Structure 1
Amino acid sequence: MGGAEHRFTVNLSILFTELPLLERPAAAAAAGFSAVELWWPWVDAPVPEKAELDALRRALNDAGTQLTGLNFYAGQLPGPDRGSLSIPGEESDRFQKNVDVVAGFAESTGCTALNALYGNRVSGVTPEEQDQLALENLASAAHAADRVGAVLLIEALNAIESPQCPVVSAPKAVEIADKVNEATGLGNAKFLMDLYHMAMNGEDLHKVIDEYTARTAHVQIADSPGRGAPGTGELDFAGLLDRLAEAGYEGRIGLEYKPGDVPSADTFGWLPRELRSA
């Protein structure tokens, strides 16, 4: 397996989910990881109780794990993957209420990457109206991220699992990041390169890496098909990780795969323990 140049982080919203949320940081640390990332943990609460935020922060600190990535509120995850920031009405309102909460939590934990998922297309609203709303909300999120020293991540999903999502290619995600940067003048909107989604979309992963690494602030991986650990599907991760290094990528690689029917801790055999600490 390639990747000796990379630092790895584990996503606690898809791995270690056999455990309660507050036990996952310690489990990740026991498996050798010092950095973790999360989707927004409270799918029904864009503004959770302060006690819940405090408890999660304490669990991260007690485990000695650094939170390196966090999603803004995006509705029900896992899937079908969707976001809220481009959906008028209640979903957009929830996103707006969540922005400062996420930024505050990121500042208190030292988290420097915040992911804002686009929403699905919905009936009764034109794509142009949704895209304008999305740009306004993304600009707000970019400003909030900038205030706490974080980047705003723009991620492309895949059209098979998220057929109503309009952001299902690397070029489209980078285009949106460009529009946000133009609107804000901050330059902190970056591409989140999820190699699983790109593979499911049938994109040439080597071409994506070569063309967009310079615009990328975070990479996530899972094998395809199946979204399992590397080695369970068809992707050549040794080659892909080496390609990322050759392209100059120096950020973290987020493990965002499903563990299957075994405990999450048993799925890391492909990754030497000395490479898990970031």
Structure 2
Amino acid sequence: MEFSANLGFLFTDLPFPQRIAAAARAGFGAVEFHDQAQSEDLRLIGDLLRSEGLRLCSLNCAMGSTAGSAALAGEEARFRAEFLAARDAAEALEARAIHVMTGRVSGAGAEAVLLRNLEFALTCTDRLLLLEVISPATMPGYWLNSPERFEAVAAALPDPRLRLMADWYHFSQICGPAALSRLRGLAPHLGHLQLARAEDRGDPLAEGLPCWPGIRALALEQGLDIGLEYRPSLPPAEVLTSLRASVL
């Protein structure tokens, strides 16, 4: 288990390439991106990751104004172009996984569009494909807004490379007190975990997270990294120290 700095949330006072060195200085062993890499110099980013000794857990397909495009009818060409750009960045940077975003969409045909696009994506890469369940309260209209929808997709497309990225903040909003037990039930599908304070996506200090022992145990059992994707008010090094000290 390693802690990963989400560079879309942490060190955002710095230009994107400089966030990599900042994550290493703070004590992280890995990082993860949104879709920033696709507009950066990949050779430079790769050199920085290697020189700082950081693994890249995952990066996103393009988000755009629709928060992705994988479930949008009539946007299949857009999805393919965005996915191939993300795939090329993932391969150049040796990312373990690619996060595919479904987009904001409603209607009965969205799942069928998503399945076709995922089938295409799986033929194009050997990386894990991550789908994240996002709370409707945080992102109204996002198609993948419940664990049940993820389970339906996984049942229709039972490829072991298709995995769930589970963000504690979103799962807490969706599942309430049952969030941790729901995550345990989804353990065979998990590909990555993310952590933030449930109430406000703030600093996930161990002393304010009753769920932390259970999340840590789940990560260790499943061999998962934990991405810190939160809105910082404290230096990230302090959050890391808190999480690590609580399990010594």
Cα distance in structure 2, aligned partners of 1:152 and 1:242: 22
**Root mean square deviation of aligned Cα:** 2.7
Find 2:83's aligned residue among 85, 99, 113.
Answer: 99
Q: 1:201 to 1:233 in 2, by over 3 A?
A: farther
Check conservation: 1:230, 1:237, Cα contact below 8 A: no
Check conservation: 1:224, 1:233, Cα contact below 8 A: no
> Which fold has the larger relative contact order, with Cα–Cα distance below 8 Å and residues 6 or more apart in sequence?
1
| Pair 1:62 & 2:51 matched | yes
Cα distance in structure 1, aligned partners of 2:29 and 2:60: 19
CA deviation string 1:98-119 (max 9, x = no partner): 2222222222222111111111
TM-score normalized by structure 1? 0.78
Question: Partner of 2:110 in structure 1?
Answer: 130
Gaps of 5+ in 2: none
Q: Which deviates more from structure 2 when the two are superposed, residues 206-215 or residues 154-163?
A: 206-215
Match runs of 1:74-85 below 5 Å: 74-76=63-65, 82-85=67-70
Q: 1:233 to 1:137 in 2, by over 3 A?
A: farther
Question: Partner of 1:170 in structure 2?
Answer: 147
Matched to 1:227, the amino acid is R
TM-score normalized by structure 2? 0.87
Cα distance in structure 2, aligned partners of 1:202 and 1:234: 19
Check conservation: 2:6, 2:228, Cα contact below 8 A: yes
Cα distance in structure 2, aligned partners of 1:272 and 1:87: 41
Question: Partner of 2:164 in structure 1?
Answer: 191
3-state secondary structure, aligned to 1:193: strand
Gaps of 5+ in 1: 1-5
% identical equivalent positions? 28
Cα distance in structure 1, aligned partners of 2:141 and 2:219: 33
Question: Partner of 1:259 in structure 2?
Answer: 232
Question: Partner of 1:180 in structure 2?
Answer: 157
Question: Partner of 1:217 in structure 2?
Answer: 191
Q: 1:245 to 1:115 in 2, by over 3 A?
A: closer
Q: 1:243 to 1:264 in 2, by over 3 A?
A: closer
Check conservation: 1:209, 1:243, Cα contact below 8 A: no
